Structures are given as C-alpha cells and as structure tokens.
Amino acid sequence: MNIAALLAKAALSFPERPAIASGVEPWSDYANFHHASGAIAHALKGRYGLKSGERVAIAMSNRPEFLECLFAIWYAGLVAVPVNAKLHPSELAYIFENSGSRACFTSPELAPAIEELSADVTLLEFVISADSDTYRALKSGDTMAYAERAPEDPAWLFYTSGTTGRPKGATLSHRNLLVMTLSYFADMDPISSHDSVMHAAPLSHGSGLYALPHIAKAANNIIPESGGFDAAEVLGLIPHYSGVTLFGAPTMIVRMMNSPAMADADTTNLKLLYYGGAPMYVADVEQALRIFGSKLEQIYGQGEAPMNISYLSREFYADRAHPRYAERIASAGIARTDLEFRVVDENDKALPTGEAGEVVVRGDIVMIGYWQDPEATAAALRGGWLHTGDVGSVDEDGFLTLMDRSKDMIISGGTNIYPREIEEVLLRHDEVREASVVGRPHPEWGEEVVAFVVRREGANVAAEALDALCLDNIARFKRPKQYFFETSLPKNNYGKVMKRDLRDRLAAESDGTD
C-alpha cells in the first residue's frame, strides 16, 4: 500500500475535519489537503515529467505546505527527501546530490540559496518555493489519485543527523512507515479526529513521523507560526486545541520548563509530551515529571528504525512504588510490539541480561538500507539485525538502558567508561546547567575523562566542588581529570551535543601545547 492512502482515506471519511493549522488559524481541512496533494502530484508527473521512484527533496522550515508536499510526492509515486532547513548549504548540496533529487520544495527564505546550489547539483532541475505563484498554480490544477506502490518501494530517505560523519540516507519503505503508524496505535496512543499534534520540532525529522498516525486518524496538525521552536509560542498554542500531542528533543523540553512562560502556562489540553532523539538526564526527567506528570512519555529510535525502537510509557512513569522505579525512569523503556531488540558483543554474540553491548534491532520498521551505499548497508544490517551503534543493556524485565553512542564511549586503562553516567552526576549539582564528558588521548591510559560544563546563570561552581560530587557518587577512575567551564555546548540542528567537536578542540589544544 502506498502510504499516501492514509490521507486519501482520512479525506474520504472526515473531509471537513481540520487537517492543518497555522498557529491559531485553520489552514486546511482534510478534503483540501487531499485535493492539494493530488494536484501537486499531478504537476510533478505531468508538467515536471518526474518518473515513479525519482527523488524530490523538501528543504523548508516547518510550515503548512510541508505536509502537502510530502503527500504530493507520495501521491505521485516519488520518494521524499526531507532535509533539515537549518543545514549549511554545502550539507544541503551533499544530500541533494547523494539522493539524486530532481526537484526541491523550499520556503522563501531558503529559495535563493537553493536556486544557487541547484546549478552545481547534477540532477536538481526544479526548485519550487512554497509561497510562490507557481506553487499556488500547482495546487489549483488537475488532480490525480495516489499511485500504486509496492510495500517495499522506498518512500522517505531519512538522512541521519551525521554526528559521526557524512549523513547517510536511511531508506524507509512504504511498509516501514505503515508498520510505524500501526504500532503507534498499538503501543503509544490511540488518536481520534478531535486530537491534534503540534509540530514544534523539525518536520523533516521526528515530528514529520508523528504526522503519519495523526493524519491516518484525521487529527489536526498544528504548525507554530515561527516555523521553529519557541517555548512561549508552543505553550501559548496548547489551550487553543484539544488532545494535543507534542514531540520534542530533550533540549526543547528543558527550554520549555525553564521558560518564564511556564509559570502561568495552561497545559490542560496537552495530551502527551514525548521526548527522545537524545538522552534526557534524570534530573531533567524528574523536573518534567513534576511539571507534566502523567503526560510524559519517552521514545528511543533512530532514522534507521523510525519512529522508535523502545518506549517508556505513562504507565511506567506513574508506577512510583515499583522497586526498580529509579532505574526504569533512567531507561529508554521496553521494545515495541512489532520488533525485537537485544544487546550483542563485538562478535554479534548475544550478551546476558544486564551486560552492556551494542543494541541491535529486528522488525518491519528497520530501513531497507542506506541509499546507494551497499557497504554501509551491509555493515549496519549484518546477520539480519540493524546495528544501532548505541551501547546499552537490557534488564530482567526487558527495559533497555542506553549508555552512549559506541563512538562516544571512553576507554581508560582498558576499562569502558560511559560519559552519560558522569554527566548524570554532574547535572545533580544545582549550579550546573549542562555537562558533556568526552575522552582525551592519554599516553598511559589510552584516554582520560574530561568534562565540559555550562553553569547556570550567576553560578560560580568550581572544579573542586564537582570533583567532590563525583567522589561521592562514582568510582575514582571515572572522575573528570579536567573541567572546562563554557557558556554553551556545540550542538547540531537537532539539539544533540557534538562531542566530536569537543574532542577536536581537545586535540587542537594538545597539539598547541606539544
């Protein structure tokens, strides 16, 4: 089944339900959304001459047209390549080239840069800005029914955030997206046409995935007018809608909680607050539980296995009396219904309960492979399991606890040290706002532990106090040997700390002193 059928069916049964809103204003109902997608699809095939299976990029900030373009691409039997609008032009060019995109939908602020890029990208011929007369004309032309697609045909090239190298296009099939949608209803939450989802995180990434189960059930997609994440705007929009689901990276949730707007925010209409995409430290989870209580859920996933591999549902957050409650809320939860995960050693041998190793996943949400990269595909999917590159362990009840990306693990004196454990301790200090721990090459130990810390405003906590905190809580050899106090940490466009940049900085500094 073409995943576009989700929209066509919703439009058939719920034509007048609000489908897309811009801030507090209704923007499109389901009948219009369906019609616009069919019309743009018709133009992509006819006027632009695109052939089934060709790739079309979407490089735009969050705006209502994003969803029309996404579905138009699928109606036409083409493959969508949503890219983060905040990427550097050279990164955008790389993704356009790598995906072989022939057309690109964009937003007015990016259109000139993308027009310029298109001259150097081999196959990119058409750049269509969402606020242009051309776009409006496409929407009002003849329409088409969605094309036939086989379940294993590619639907979405989901480019990884590239924290460890060049982004790779995780190729998601129509089946992958359908199974992801179905298991949302099975494990995460039921949805009705009176519910809504707020897209405050990039639609090109996690939030776009959340659109699918909501469109399948004719719920409303709210796009904040800023096109990005603004804590006060998001909090202000919640009371205007019913049954609101919101997904955010941990940094977004933390910013929301620390925003002055939180004090008198009315979150009654918030149904669910998902966080995921990066670790959230226990101190922050506890604050979120105090503020949002029973509405908090966590997901752990990656572009290669969307939208999630495991989840920690409201049920577990609420079960405070459980003897392993503290471990559970620090974990990434249990496996979804449709998949299996396990933890393996470097020879792919399954490890016993509680032992740390690489998390591998098997099931119908696992990507077909990396776009035109057989070598990386074979490495990632060896033995029929997706190798996530994440280090974790599974307890006797099936809860997965993530330590770190395997590339972020520190090996000191032959012992594995997981930075997250140390970061968790540092964040317990009232005056620490952010902390990131990395390994620095050391002639004797291989690597030594170093911490980068951002203090809260007006705070002046020193290395000695943090060292004492570590001595009280973790083994001596895990203590950071040096602290760097920073005003901010380098983050990528998804709010993930770029540990590679921190390591590069340390390398440059030690080169300078040699």
Sites of contact with ligand AMP (CB under 6 A): 160-161, 276-279, 298-303, 332, 388, 390, 402, 405
Strands 126-129 and 154-159: unpaired
**Residue 75 or 494 with smaller CB distance to ligand AMP:** 494
Task: State the Cα–Cα distance between residues 42 and 147, nearest whole angstrom.
Answer: 10
**Residue 11 or 365 with smaller CB distance to ligand AMP:** 365
CB of 467 to ligand AMP, least distance (A): 26
Please state whether 165 falls in left (phi above 0), alpha (psi between -120 and 50) or beta: left
**Residue 56 or 309 with smaller CB distance to ligand AMP:** 309
Dihedral sign for Cα atoms in the order 68, 71, 77, 81: positive
3-state class percentages of the chain: helix first, strand second, coil last, to nearest 5: 35, 25, 35
Cβ contact 447:438 at 8 Å? no
CB burial readout 424-458, b (16+ within 10 A) else e: bbbbebeebbbbbbbbbeeeebebbbbbbbbbeee
Q: In what order do the strands lie in the sheet with 386-394?
A: 339-344, 357-363, 386-394, 400-405
**Residue 50 or 330 with smaller CB distance to ligand AMP:** 330
DSSP three-state, residue 435: strand
Task: State the Cα–Cα distance between residues 197 and 220, nearest whole angstrom.
Answer: 6
CB of 246 to ligand AMP, least distance (A): 16
**Residue 70 or 400 with smaller CB distance to ligand AMP:** 400
**Residue 168 or 478 with smaller CB distance to ligand AMP:** 168
The token pair that represents 336 in the structure block: 């979804």
**Residue 100 or 167 with smaller CB distance to ligand AMP:** 167
CB of 206 to ligand AMP, least distance (A): 7
**Residue 56 or 305 with smaller CB distance to ligand AMP:** 305
CB of 407 to ligand AMP, least distance (A): 10
CB of 300 to ligand AMP, least distance (A): 4
Cβ contact 271:243 at 8 Å? yes
Q: Which of 419, 437, 496, 392 is nearest to 164 (CA)?
A: 496
CB of 249 to ligand AMP, least distance (A): 9
Amino acid residing at 476:
R
**Residue 416 or 482 with smaller CB distance to ligand AMP:** 416
Q: Which of 347, 338, 297 is nearest to 317 (CA)?
A: 297
Give Cβ neighbours of residue 478 (< 8 Å, ≥ 6 apart). Answer: 417, 421, 422, 449, 470
CB of 314 to ligand AMP, least distance (A): 15
CB of 495 to ligand AMP, least distance (A): 11
Strands 18-22 and 415-417: unpaired
The token pair that represents 234 in the structure block: 């998001």
CB of 3 to ligand AMP, least distance (A): 19
DSSP three-state, residue 16: coil
CB of 122 to ligand AMP, least distance (A): 26
**Residue 107 or 298 with smaller CB distance to ligand AMP:** 298
